[in-house]
Amino acid sequence: MTTTPPLRTWLPSWIFLSISWGIAFYFIKIAGSDLSPIQIAFGRVALGSITVLIILFSMKQHLPNTSKAWFRANIAGFLQHTAPFILIAYSELTISTILAGIAMAVTPIWTALFSMAFIPKDKISKNEFFGIFAGFLGVLVLIGIWEGSSGENNLLGVMAVILATAGYGGAVIYTRSKVTELGFSPLSFIAAQLTASALQLLLLSLLFTSIPTEVSSSTVWSILVLGILSTGFSFPLLYKIIRDVGSLAAATISYASPIVSTLLGVILLREKLHWYQPIGAVLILYGVALVQGINFSKIWSRRGDLNP
């Protein structure tokens, strides 16, 4: 017999993640005034890595100690941090935080597509098919495809953020198929993954960027928030939610974080919310719900996926 987990065990973490991931788009936009996309990604991942390592060692856990684990940590780190963080920062040079934040909700649809492509036992259901269709239709509506590549809907910027969501989706499938079998704790592997990504981004920064001539205090604070809150604390809390109430409950964060990013874009950055963007957001999130089989009337009564 299962029991409904008390709200206090998961709701504060859920709210924190919804806010910290939603505000990330605002702070990326601010940091972009002084730093290149690669530098933003490096600062974020380096601080996130340090934060997670402190948490890891304080819990008396250790990093993976096999070459296979570190090889796979590099791949997972590239898919989940290195490439997406650069692409998102690049996208926000030309598109609004509103558009970038809402488009990120497409991630679970990519996960479903990659799952069907690379995990043979996963077959597409009718609901998943309609969910994928609704999701990509939502993307077309979200960007106002009929308006062409305007200043607000720059095609390269939109493609960059969509590629970032593909990276996230690929990271989920790679972790499921290649990482879980290694047997390390989630916190241990995410620490290795972030460390590997930080080293990748350090190399890219040395090769392709120069030291910025001036960095404002707002940029420094933005990187601190992105690294410590939106990256470092976020992943341990994500696994806590999965443990307490399940992965589907954790997935609903994608419904809340775009609201946060949209509000900050409208209120603080004075960005314009076009009439068709909420419609596109609804289509995307409806597609995500179909793909993930989310039943909101039952989802919060589940026990966590990591519980016996």
Give the range with max mean pLDDT: 28-32, 107-111, 303-307: 28-32
Residue 306 within a domain: no
Report pLDDT for 124.
67
**Measured between alpha carbons, how far is 130 from 196 in angstroms, rounded to an integer?**
37
Amino acid 122 reads D
Residue 308 within a domain: no
- Which one has a higher pLDDT value, 13 or 48? 48
**Measured between alpha carbons, how far is 42 from 4 in angstroms, rounded to an integer?**
40
Residue 54: which H helix or E strand, with range? helix 37-58
Q: Residue 306 — pLDDT band, cuts 50, 70, 90?
A: very low
Residue 2 within a domain: no
pLDDT per residue as tens digits for the range 128-148: 778 878 887 888 888 777 666
Q: What is the mean pLDDT of residues 166-194?
A: 88
**Measured between alpha carbons, how far is 78 from 181 in angstroms, rounded to an integer?**
19
Number of domains making up the chain: 1
pLDDT per residue as tens digits for the range 59-102: 999 999 999 999 999 999 999 999 999 999 999 999 999 989 98
Give the global pTM.
0.87
Q: Alpha helices of 209-252 — where are they, by DSSP H?
A: 217-224, 234-245, 247-251
Using a 10 angstrom Cβ sphere, with 0-12 exposed, 13-18 middle and 19 or more buried, the burial of residue 41 is buried
Residue 56 within a domain: yes
Residue 307 within a domain: no
First-last CA distance in the chain: 12
DSSP conformation letters of 75-142 = HHHIIIIIHHHHHHHHHTTTB-HHHHHHHGGGHHHHHHHHHHHH-TT-PPPHHHHHHHHHHHHHHHHH
Residue 225 has pLDDT above 90, yes or no: yes
Report how far Cα 4 is from the mean position of its chain's Cα atoms.
27
**Measured between alpha carbons, how far is 96 from 93 in angstroms, rounded to an integer?**
8
Tally Cβ neighbours within 10 Å of residue 214: 6
Full residue range of the structural domain in which residue 250 is found: 7-301
The residues that bridge with 153 in the sheet, in sequence order, are 95
**Measured between alpha carbons, how far is 31 from 25 in angstroms, rounded to an integer?**
10
DSSP 183: -
